[in-house]
Chains A and B, each alone.
Chain A
């Protein structure tokens, strides 16, 4: 019978004729297109993973990603062999694209947990069909982010000194340093996200275990399904745990980017030393994260025919979030000017003047365009509900957030306190090869994920169906 479940996708596609009579715009966009049953949802999603033949598109994409990873390994060998001097960093500008990319990735890495945790707590049903995907994205973004702090040090082979462990030198890390906070924040975040993601996967792994035909595939999924059998008692504790994890992840996700922002806020450099950095960075992270989710979800949805599960409602909601967080970020940019000018502090004032008119003014203008103007389209329903425009805006935001970090890091460093030591920063070919490489790593993992794991949480989708609502008598009574 498992064979029967291997039917091609289009046969599983439901028809919603009667609805077609009514003009589109009068319909409330649902979170699952009607006409689905537990079986259809289960089969549709699990088939994507279990079907034997791998789509060409996937192969092509994966290969490209692999090439990028190759580039990354080459770059890493260069870096470790020759030294961080292969990058464009110099004396006034000690951090360049290494830290820019780190913050960029870690920011992207915030959407997943945020969607899963916060939206879960807020009982936002629509999160269901995107959370799994977003969580995976989070993990891989964090993985890419992790590369940079690890490799940007002058002597990466001594990185382990950043961890507290008893040693023959009798030395410990210096816990006043935001970099140490980073170590703890990022590693904790990675661990908790991983567990959150995995726990969410367990019932689906069981589903795959039961759907798979090949005994070894069964065993493989079975091993990770931990023998899940959907017992009511298990479900009870499971939901309990899931809720608790959400409760823990929420402050965690906020803390992580807060701490990343401390890398700058705690320093005293004009353009870094600002008290509003934590909220500003967190908002930026959500902003960037949702942009990336859109960037990935829109093509994936098309490619895997997931329109029924990732409906326009999802996309539109994400559009709204883009707008909201975008506005917060813009507010932060504005406040920077207010503080700078109101303080009358010559360093702050000059820093702003330099941003707007200095050598990097183009970057700064581009930043406003990408993060300030582009999201404004989201005010209008016809843009919010157009996958094309959503995608365009999302891309703008992705670029904009990278520029934001550029403006914050090198553009603040290159002209700080003493004019005598002012300089310039230009990324070298190796800076870019690292960036491309990390993107490759990200997509490599992502491709593997969509191939071997359900990119939508099957069991949670089931709960969205009306049939899922069962009542004990006393409930049924009223």
Chain B
């Protein structure tokens, strides 16, 4: 492919997208909404703190995190109980203080803890996995002022792989949102 900008919808090599910097949350949110109404789909917005509604504005699929956690929790619980039961009933049954081998009430604490543990692990690693983290290298880090994204600046990027992507149109469109600055984001 050539580096010369070509027709609409054709991705450009070496270009990740075009990014616009805003200095307040409201204009980022508005911008993102506008971009979506304008028909762009491959959007992403960056902010120093979670902004309510922004995710929807950049179009987010329903997350399956809760499901993962539920499953892990159940697995943990079953696993925990099985461990106790197996160890004290199957593997080596002993008469402990006249209590029956399967003193199930005594298994409850361990069962519970195991459930929580696995659920929590599921939560954290699930979240990271869904977010595609860790990702220490990312194109947006090429943007000079992007380090402000973790301070007090807000960014909206329209990715080059957006079917509607056209470098000039995108630039123009972003300009209409009167951002602080517009930059091309190289790969």
Q: Do A and B interact directly, with beta carbons closer than 8 Å? A: yes
Across the interface, do B128 and A226 meet the contact criterion of CB distance under 8 Å?
Answer: yes
Of B55, B128, B136, the residue contacting A232 (CB under 8 A) is: B55
Chain A nearest CB, measured from B179 CB (Å):
15
Contact of A240 with B by CB under 8 A: yes
On whether the beta carbons of A472 and B88 are closer than 8 Å, the reply is no
Query: Contacting B57 at CB < 8 Å: which of A39, A211, A469, A472?
Result: A472
Shortest Cβ distance from residue B147 to the other chain A in the assembled complex, whole angstroms = 4
Task: Name the B residues within 8 Å of A191 (CB-CB).
Answer: 117, 120-121
Judge whether B152 and A39 touch: CB under 8 Å. Answer: yes
Report yes or no: A229 in contact with B110, Cβ–Cβ below 8 A.
no
Query: B109 contacts A240, CB within 8 Å?
Result: no
Given A227-B135, A233-B131, A235-B54, does the pair A175, B110 have CB atoms closer than 8 Å? yes
- Which residues of chain B are within 8 angstroms of A209 by Cβ–Cβ distance? 150
A235 & B120 in contact (Cβ 8 Å cutoff)? no
Alpha-carbon distance A237/B53, docked complex (angstroms):
13
Residues of B close to A240: CB separation below 8 A: 63, 65-66, 127
B138 touches A176 (CB 8 A): no
Instruction: Given the known inter-chain contacts A232-B46, A467-B25, please indicate yes or no for A195 contacting B121, CB distance below 8 A.
Output: yes
Which chain B positions have C-beta within 8 A of A357?
none
Q: How far is the CB of A234 from chain B (nearest CB, A)?
A: 5
Q: Does B4 contact A (CB under 8 A)?
A: no
Asked if A230 contacts B133 (CB within 8 A), the reply is no
Chain B nearest CB from A431 CB (Å) reads 29
B38 in contact (CB, < 8 A): no
Count of interface residues, chain A, beta-carbon cutoff 8 Å: 71
From 205 to 234 in chain A, residues with beta carbon under 8 angstroms from any chain B beta carbon are 206-207, 209-211, 222-223, 225-234
Q: Check A232 against B26 for contact (C-beta < 8 Å).
A: no
Interface residues on B, range: 35 or more
A176 touches B53 (CB 8 A): no
B2 to chain A, nearest CB (A): 30
Query: Known: A42-B152, A231-B44. Contact between A470 and B26, CB under 8 A?
Result: yes
CB distance B113 to A226 under 8 Å?
no
A463 at the interface (CB under 8 A from B): yes
**A469 and B25 alpha carbons, distance in the complex (Å):** 8
Query: Is A471 among interface residues, defined by CB-CB distance under 8 A?
Result: yes
Residues of B with C-beta under 8 A to A225:
136
Contacts of A235 in B (CB 8 A): 47, 49-51, 54-55
Across-interface contacts of B116 in A (CB, < 8 A) = 188, 192, 248, 251-252, 255
B74 within 8 A of A: no
Q: Are A211 and B131 in contact (CB under 8 A)?
A: no
Nearest-neighbour CB distance to chain A for B66, whole angstroms, equals 7
> Once bound together, how far apart are the Cα atoms of A232 and B32, in whole Å?
10
Interface contact B45-A172, CB-CB below 8 Å: no
| Residues of A close to B69: CB separation below 8 A | 244, 248
The B129-162 residues at the A interface (CB cut-off 8 A) are 130-131, 133-138, 140-141, 146-152
Is B136 in contact with A226, judged by CB distance below 8 angstroms? yes
**Shortest CB distance B96–A (Å):** 6
Shortest Cβ distance from residue B8 to the other chain A in the assembled complex, whole angstroms: 25
Are the C-beta atoms of A229 and B53 separated by less than 8 Å?
no
- Which of A230, A244, A245, A460 contacts B150, CB < 8 Å? A230
Q: Which of A179-187, A321-329, A384-392 contacts B (4 or more CB under 8 A)?
A: A179-187
Question: Which 3 A-B residue pairs are closest in the complex by CB-CB distance?
Answer: A172-B87, A38-B152, A236-B55
Interface of B with A (CB < 8 Å)?
24-26, 28-29, 32-33, 44-58, 60, 63, 65-66, 69, 73, 80, 83-84, 86-88, 91-92, 94, 96-97, 99, 103, 106-107, 109-110, 112-114, 116-117, 119-121, 123-124, 126-128, 130-131, 133-138, 140-141, 146-152
List 8 A–B pairs whose Cβ atoms lie within 8 Å, in order of A's numbering.
A175-B106, A176-B88, A207-B48, A225-B136, A226-B136, A227-B135, A237-B130, A259-B109
